[in-house]
């Protein structure tokens, strides 16, 4: 059966799947679409050989390509064209720079990323974080996820506005009745988190030697990303720890202390490893 011509490229059915198609652009790019309920998913795959010390990186589940999930299409053709358009744009513009990526994180997820260290933690320490190495840079694997997060945040903000209005009504009622104002809670979760980020010790996500991006910096790492990775490794080594803050929200135990001690050790190993592999890293 002849392939399907969409977006100036030919799409072929995948094995016996009637509603799954794949398109090979060249030796580096391919795209796939498949029907999922009432929508059509689309994903782009980019070939990349990830090497560390000259050896191909072979962590469990690792493949020689990076997959980018895109916003689904309402129709099969819409999904196919969206994938092709993403590839063509990527060919022209390349991977988002580190500066732009950091700004995008803070713009799209201000509640999650209140400062630079919070972004470093997510990009380099957290596993399954939606970022992976490609051509020596970290790239976002689901570039449209922030739209869903924005919608959810909007609903939460609207709910918070209802709560705030109720509080204000309560204050007004107490004033009219001649009652003293209710004391505002000082030990809120937000205030606690603010104190944690300003502290000397930060309870970072437990780093995985197989899956955390900080543990698999590739040989072809770009200079600006090497600088940031080195910064993250030093942060892990020097700042990992359980915060000494009196709060009802501070629920860390002995196991958490051990995890942070392990983070410190891993951080020290990574700093030494990066200095060995990239002798000029301190001058970057």
Query: pLDDT at position 62, please?
Result: 61
Query: pLDDT at position 146, please?
Result: 44
**Global model pTM greater than 0.85:** no
Task: Dump the DSSP string for the chain.
Answer: -PPEEETTEEEEE-TT-TTEEEEE-SSSEEEEEEEETTEEEEEEEEE---EETTEE---TT--SEEEEEEEEESSHHHHHHHHHHHHHHHHHH-SPPHHHHHHHHHHH-TTT-SSHHHHHHHHHT-TT-SEEEETTEEEES-TTHHHHHHHHHHHHHHHHHHHHHHHHHHHHHHHHTTPPPPPPPSS-HHHHHHHHHHSS-B-PPPP-TTT-GGGG--TT--HHHHHHHHHHHHHHHHHBS------TT----HHHHHHHHHHHHHHHHHHHHHHHH-TTGGG-
Query: pLDDT at position 148, please?
Result: 47
Query: pLDDT at position 250, please?
Result: 86
**What residue ranges of the chain have pLDDT lower than 50?**
146-149, 151-152
């Amino acid at each position: 059966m002849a392939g399907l011509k969409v977006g100036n490229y030919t799409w072929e059915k995948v094995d016996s799947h009637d509603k799954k198609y794949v398109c090979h652009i060249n030796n580096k790019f391919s795209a796939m679409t498949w029907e999922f309920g009432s929508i059509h998913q689309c994903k782009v795959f980019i070939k990349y050989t990830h090497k560390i010390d000259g050896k191909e990186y072979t962590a469990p589940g690792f493949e020689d390509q990076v997959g980018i999930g895109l916003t689904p299409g309402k129709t099969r053709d819409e999904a196919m064209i969206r994938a092709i358009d993403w590839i063509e744009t990527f060919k022209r513009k390349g991977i988002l720079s580190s500066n732009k990526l950091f700004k995008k994180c803070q713009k799209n997820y201000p509640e999650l990323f209140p400062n630079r260290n919070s972004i470093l933690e997510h990009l380099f320490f957290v596993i399954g974080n939606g970022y992976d190495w490609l051509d020596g840079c970290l790239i976002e694997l689901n570039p449209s996820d922030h739209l869903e997060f924005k919608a959810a945040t909007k609903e939460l903000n609207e709910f918070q506005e209802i709560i705030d209005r109720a509080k204000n009504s309560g204050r007004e009622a107490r004033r009219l009745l001649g009652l003293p104002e209710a004391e505002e809670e000082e030990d809120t979760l937000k205030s606690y988190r603010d104190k944690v980020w300003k502290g000397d010790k930060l309870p970072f996500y437990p780093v995985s030697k197989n899956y955390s991006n900080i543990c698999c910096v590739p040989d072809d790492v770009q200079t600006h990303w090497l600088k940031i990775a080195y910064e993250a490794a030093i942060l892990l080594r020097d700042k990992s720890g359980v915060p000494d803050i009196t709060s009802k929200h501070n629920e860390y135990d002995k196991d958490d202390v051990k995890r942070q001690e392990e983070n410190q050790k891993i951080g020290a190993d990574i700093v030494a490893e990066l200095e060995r592999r990239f002798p000029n890293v301190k001058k970057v």
